[in-house]
Structure 1
């Protein structure tokens, strides 16, 4: 079976490591991702010597173009380099973008919606939160009181990591069965409705819930010197304007995998891409990767 042809366009340092990993089971062209060992660098879309089986895009924003090397490149010009029936992969693909790709006869999948990637990404996210907590405190994490709001994939990783670092870690969640699970792992736990009456005892608060849970009324009870780290996607679960008024150090920590561990994050994306292309018969499941 011939190796699949990948065109990887745009992104941050994660995409460099992603490209290197993809080279193990495909021919990789990179556009705006200079530095990936094994990949062929293109200076423009016109330099693409063959049609791609797979177009790999980074985390997307809304619109019909992406930033590549400081220049706006239309998505239409990129997808025109993909074979009919080929595959477009990207993160957080909008409905409008999906419609564009579909109209051009392409398959589409959002790799950020893959559960396997979400689970893997929770690890560098938790490590990034620990890094932020350490940088923003004059004290040690060891022996400090930490609250994790939410006990999903990311919340679990954060709670376990901070506990392993020696913190006294508590969990707040909405559902009784989730609180029971946190309790079974040795965490002090309490219902989310009791947040305001409990929040004043913590040195670090980590929110993973994508809903407004840290309102002004709740934040008013936060103790002096506490750091709030919000990991929820935009707009987050914290009233940041209120936090500023209350002089609380509240940080909306987005895209932590790419900031805290770009090499690992890039490999994880590549592994997810391999899962998708294997399932669709684009790559050979029997090939060995490094």
Structure 2
């Protein structure tokens, strides 16, 4: 249980509703910032403005999956008011205050370091990333169905990257009957790709592997689907980039070639916010309980 723990939840989308629900069930005291337009009421949760929060009493701060913007701005769909998290907010909190975010950036890393407060990036955890790969794969399937005029069955599908998302996406498309090729760099990934029944190739030869591609799905957050690669694709190809912004695709050149290319990060929160929210909520609750026990220990 999280009885008497004061947790400030700043901004977020529909996924955060599952986080709020889970933490209130565990008897935490919840402060909601950026939820003034939310009609739903949660027992044990109070809506407040950021300047009204007494951070000296806050044991944990929960940010949206997206963390903050480059200047500390926090996104929320339940308010039109601007929320900006600063190092002063963190410094006002107890030294044991723990900051939780889905992902991070240079700004968030800096204010956590400057304030001496611990920052946990939930999406760097294998369990969260693997669970999230399921709605990501389902959302990718939905996008491909919507934006092509062929079936996934017997399509020539290329998946770039064989991490936690790439593996689930490749397996899902193969299960639907696609001819799946997977590009990777590490020799152990190449071996696993072959073992799982996909056609492996090294990413250095990517431009030679896309001449007949129908669907190209990128999970690598660096420039990989560049103009050299896109110029070798047939004009009907669809590119779905699942990497975090700005993605790994030259979208300008794709448009110039008449190839449809879409950046689609955060699919779990779009296609299955309830499931995606429960994934974050369950892991976050476990971490908070561990944090409490470690303080007692």
Shift of 1:218: 1.5
Residue in 1 that maps onto 2:193: 182
Q: Secondary structure at the match of 2:192?
A: helix
Indicate yes or no: 2:85 matched with 1:75: yes
Distance in 1 between the 2:273 and 2:112 partners?
Answer: 28
TM-score by length of 1: 0.87
Kindly provide the CA deviation profile for residues 208-234 of structure 1, in whole angstroms up to 9, marking residues without a partner as x: 122222221211121131101111223
Distance in 2 between the 1:192 and 1:36 partners?
Answer: 50
Indicate yes or no: 2:183 matched with 1:149: no
Shift of 1:268: 1.4
TM-score by length of 2: 0.85
| Residues 19, 39 of structure 1: 8 Å contact kept | no
| Residues 238, 261 of structure 2: 8 Å contact kept | yes
Q: 1:32 aligns with which of 31, 34, 37?
A: 34
Would the alpha carbon gap of residues 103 and 259 (structure 1) be closer, same or farther in structure 2, given more than 3 Å must change?
same
Would the alpha carbon gap of residues 217 and 266 (structure 1) be closer, same or farther in structure 2, given more than 3 Å must change?
same
Distance in 2 between the 1:176 and 1:84 partners?
Answer: 44
- Structure that is richer in strand per residue: 1
| Residues 30, 39 of structure 1: 8 Å contact kept | no
Would the alpha carbon gap of residues 54 and 137 (structure 1) be closer, same or farther in structure 2, given more than 3 Å must change?
same
Distance in 2 between the 1:105 and 1:175 partners?
Answer: 36
Kindly provide the CA deviation profile for residues 114-145 of structure 1, in whole angstroms up to 9, marking residues without a partner as x: 22222222222111111111110122212222
More divergent stretch after superposition (103-112 vs 3-12): 103-112
Residue in 2 that maps onto 1:287: none
More divergent stretch after superposition (56-65 vs 73-82): 73-82
Would the alpha carbon gap of residues 97 and 197 (structure 1) be closer, same or farther in structure 2, given more than 3 Å must change?
closer
More divergent stretch after superposition (180-189 vs 71-80): 71-80
Shift of 1:158: 0.3
- In structure 1, runs of 5+ residues without a counterpart are 285-290
Q: How does 1:114-129 map to 2 (within 5 A)?
A: 114-129=125-140
Q: How does 1:87-106 map to 2 (within 5 A)?
A: 87-101=98-112, 103-104=114-115, 106=117
Q: 2:62 aligns with which of 56, 67, 75?
A: 56
Distance in 1 between the 2:244 and 2:75 partners?
Answer: 21
Would the alpha carbon gap of residues 217 and 119 (structure 1) be closer, same or farther in structure 2, given more than 3 Å must change?
same
Indicate yes or no: 2:15 matched with 1:22: no
More divergent stretch after superposition (91-100 vs 59-68): 91-100
Distance in 2 between the 1:42 and 1:200 partners?
Answer: 55
Q: How does 1:160-199 map to 2 (within 5 A)?
A: 160-199=171-210
Shift of 1:30: 2.1
- In structure 2, runs of 5+ residues without a counterpart are none
Q: Secondary structure at the match of 1:244?
A: helix
